[in-house]
Chains A and B, each alone.
Chain A
């Protein structure tokens, strides 16, 4: 039997996860744009590979709650159950040590924090707050603005109202590296990263933080020049709501 075993193609796994994440992002985008709920549970029942779908839910993270925190829509009980189940199937790292694990731990924390608003019990580990020291280490002012903005882009699912915490505070204190990072990403035509950083600008702007750049113009530029992809479209849609822009 040993000869029949085929090693799992990690790249294929990542493509499947990215495709499923795009589908989840489309559903969230539809909910932000007017649909009643996300329909995560429906997606699970479509016959797609359940493990992959749950992995995609973990990838999208706190953004699945965007319709709830941005527009006040209720979270469907079954959708909350899907989010909770995704943490059972893909459990958080119990003791994060590396930078990447700390980034993931903060993203998980945001999901747990928003999941706690629902009737669903947060799964073990998802709502355990990483220490504030790890937030300071991730977004340390001593880092180069390139490193700083790359980390801020990875933490962009936390750029939602109602998340709060030391990561949000650290980003709000870093408008200059944020603006540099956005400028660099736009010039590199890395619109995915740009859209993620613009979310931070939009959230901080909605909280009255003064901006070196105009996030409204940036959102329009990304939409016109590079606005393709489901997750990018979701990032832009979230920014539009935060900035009180008209729907695209």
Chain B
């Protein structure tokens, strides 16, 4: 029995066809193409923030 005779589907359903077409042109098949870096609109403002806790003042004995 040839392979051709064992196949059941004749034509894929429209949803299956469109799913294949979408994956064929997606850079990462099955994976979102979302940016890998998070955009930080206020990056400069964040950089100006003092992220480190203030150093303790020298204790005076």
A84-111 near B? 1/0 per residue, CB < 8 Å: 0100111101000000110110010000
Instruction: Provide the bound-state CA to CA distance between A70 and B47, in Å.
Output: 51
A192 CB contact (under 8 Å) in B7, B12, B27 = B27
A12-20, A129-137, A166-174 - the one binding chain B: A12-20
Interface residues of chain A: helix, strand, loop or mixed (majority): helix
Q: Which residue of A lies closest to B35 (CB)?
A: A188
Contact with B along A186-201 (1 / 0, CB 8 A): 0011101100100000
Residues of A within 8 A of B11 (CB): 88-89, 91
Could you tell me if A100 and B28 are in contact, using CB atoms closer than 8 angstroms? no
Cα distance A184–B32 when bound, in Å?
Answer: 17
B24 & A58 in contact (Cβ 8 Å cutoff): yes
A178 surroundings in chain B (CB, below 8 A): none
Q: Is the CB–CB distance between A89 and B3 below 8 Å?
A: no
Q: Is A217 an interface residue (CB 8 A)?
A: no
Q: Is the CB of B15 within 8 A of A8?
A: yes
A18 to B26, CA, bound (A): 11
Q: How far is the CA of A19 from the CA of B4 in the complex (A)?
A: 23
A-to-B contact residues, CB < 8 Å: 8, 10, 13-15, 17-19, 21, 41, 44-45, 50-52, 54-55, 58-59, 61, 78, 81-82, 85, 88-91, 93, 100-101, 103-104, 107, 150, 153-154, 188-190, 192-193, 196, 231
B-side residues, CB < 8 A to A, are 2-4, 6-13, 15-25, 27-31, 35-37
